[in-house]
């Protein structure tokens, strides 16, 4: 069973880190085993309500001094449509998407910066201020 390393961020700034194997964009609930939980611990049931985003990460220890690049490498082909997401909290994410449609509860974004700790991100539409194709 594939276990995804994720960082869950709520609209109020609360943060949870752990693994999930049952997140699906078409479901409102998924489970998370927190990183600090003892082996064999029961998972937490999380709702997507009040979430900002679910970050699928390479590792849990990021570099707080690193600022993801907001531009694409012109020498590399991109897959998907280029998109800019401005969250209500002021964070800006630039990347590509294959599934953004207005009216849907959320969509995936792959960051433009290949050195980002984020492999992909599920953005909750309710947490966005502005979404535009670039």
Per-residue pLDDT of the chain (134 residues; tens, 9 = 90+): 678 999 999 999 999 999 999 999 999 999 999 998 888 888 999 999 999 999 999 999 878 788 899 999 888 889 999 999 999 999 999 999 998 999 999 999 999 999 999 999 999 999 999 999 99
Q: Of 39, 28, 32, which Cα lies nearest the Cα of 7?
A: 32
**Which pTM value belongs to this model?**
0.94
3-state secondary structure (DSSP) of residue 25: coil
Helices (H) and strands (E) in the chain, counts: 0, 10
Q: Of 45, 41, 63, which Cα lies nearest the Cα of 8?
A: 45
C-alpha angle 60-91-54 in degrees, rounded to nearest 5: 40
121: tokens are 């991100």
Q: Quote the number of domains for the chain.
A: 1
Domain that holds residue 79: 4-133
């Amino acid at each position: 069973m594939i276990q995804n390393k994720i960082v869950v961020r709520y609209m109020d700034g609360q943060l949870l880190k752990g693994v999930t194997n049952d997140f699906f964009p078409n479901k409102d609930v998924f489970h998370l085993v927190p990183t600090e939980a003892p082996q064999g611990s029961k998972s937490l049931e999380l709702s997507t309500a009040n979430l900002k985003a679910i970050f699928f990460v390479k590792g849990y220890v990021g570099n707080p001094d690193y600022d993801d690049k907001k531009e694409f490498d012109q020498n590399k082909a991109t897959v998907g449509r280029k998109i800019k997401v401005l969250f209500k909290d002021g964070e800006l994410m630039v990347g590509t998407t294959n599934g953004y449609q207005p009216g849907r509860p959320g969509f995936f974004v792959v960051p433009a910066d290949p050195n980002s700790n984020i492999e992909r991100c599920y953005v909750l539409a309710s947490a966005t201020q502005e979404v535009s194709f670039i």
